[in-house]
């Protein structure tokens, strides 16, 4: 038996709702990962673990990368659901509806993360080195979990497409990316952060640094992250040829490394 038009529209509208919620959920995960894990470096995904894994920076970065990959998969799933609904002939969502559902999905991510990752499982806290981590958890939850829900509830019920809203959203995303790439304003101008392959020996890393004719400022506990000074472009190329994975001297690729500090 064929479904009635009303029933079909309802099913596809539900797909549209789920699709935009998933997009907002993934944006919430990306936001936390980029801001908290990379820019502010208040925690990594698995900072709450005990033992050697807690101080193993390559392991922590890999876990962050897998987390971002998961959020990427959620975003792709949301996009596929939206395309499926659109192909089925359901009317397009208005700008207000898209923003409203995206905000709700964004808030759901932060509520889920706070309850599960912070309090039930203990994978991490918002600010790991705080004397009152619960205060940071609650503050972050209120700002990025509760406030977006309030904004979503206040959105007008009707509204069409808005080029201005889309342009503003693109501008915010572009600005955030540029800020992340530049690095902190107080970063030493002559300091370059280099990340070597974990499989390299300390002797091979030292040989690479010597070949690059750079000076060592500090290294992290894992031995794979080095801060160098007096590094020229020729030396940077030499480091990459000898096993360096990333360098903060290339801001569009690894500018967030400029926030790295020895611990």
Most confident of 17-31, 143-157, 175-189: 17-31
pTM: 0.60
Average pLDDT of 87-100?
A: 77
CA dist 253 → 70, 246, 248, 250 (Å): 21, 8, 8, 6
- Number of H-type helices and E-type strands within the chain: 9, 4
Average pLDDT of 235-257?
A: 68
H or E segment and range at residue 21: helix 5-32
Where do the domains of the chain lie, and which CATH numbers do they carry? 5-182 (no CATH), 191-259 (3.30.70)
pLDDT of residue 157: 60
**Measured between alpha carbons, how far is 249 from 257 in angstroms, rounded to an integer?**
9
The mean-pLDDT minimum among 22-36, 63-77, 99-113, 176-190 falls in 176-190
pLDDT of residue 183: 46
pLDDT of residue 106: 95
Counting residues of the chain whose pLDDT is more than 90, the rounded percentage is 39
Residue 53 binned pLDDT confidence (cut-offs 50, 70, 90): confident
Counting residues of the chain whose pLDDT is more than 70, the rounded percentage is 75
Average pLDDT of 118-146?
A: 92
């Amino acid at each position: 038996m064929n479904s009635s038009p009303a029933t079909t529209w309802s099913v596809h509208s539900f797909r549209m709702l789920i699709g935009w919620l998933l997009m907002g959920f993934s944006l919430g995960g990306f936001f936390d990962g980029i801001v908290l894990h990379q820019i502010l470096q208040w925690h990594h995904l698995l900072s709450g673990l005990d033992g050697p894994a807690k101080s193993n920076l390559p392991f922590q970065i890999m876990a962050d990368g897998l987390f971002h990959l998961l959020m990427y998969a959620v975003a792709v799933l949301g996009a596929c659901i939206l395309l499926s609904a659109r192909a089925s002939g359901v009317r397009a969502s208005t700008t207000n509806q898209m923003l409203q559902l995206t905000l709700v999905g964004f808030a759901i991510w932060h509520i889920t993360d706070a309850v599960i990752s912070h309090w039930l499982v203990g994978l991490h806290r918002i600010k790991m080195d705080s004397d009152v981590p619960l205060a940071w958890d609650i503050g972050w939850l209120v700002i990025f979990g509760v406030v977006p829900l309030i904004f979503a509830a206040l959105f007008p019920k009707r509204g069409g497409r808005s080029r201005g809203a889309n342009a503003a959203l693109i501008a915010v995303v572009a600005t955030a990316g540029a800020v992340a790439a530049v690095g902190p304003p107080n970063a030493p101008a002559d300091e370059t952060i280099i990340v070597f392959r974990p499989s390299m020996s300390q002797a091979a890393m030292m040989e690479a640094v010597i070949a690059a004719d750079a000076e060592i400022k500090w290294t992290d506990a894992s031995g794979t992250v080095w801060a160098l000074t007096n590094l020229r472009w020729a030396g940077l190329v030499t480091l990459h040829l000898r096993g360096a994975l990333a360098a903060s001297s290339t801001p569009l690729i690894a500018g967030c490394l400029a926030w790295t500090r020895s611990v």
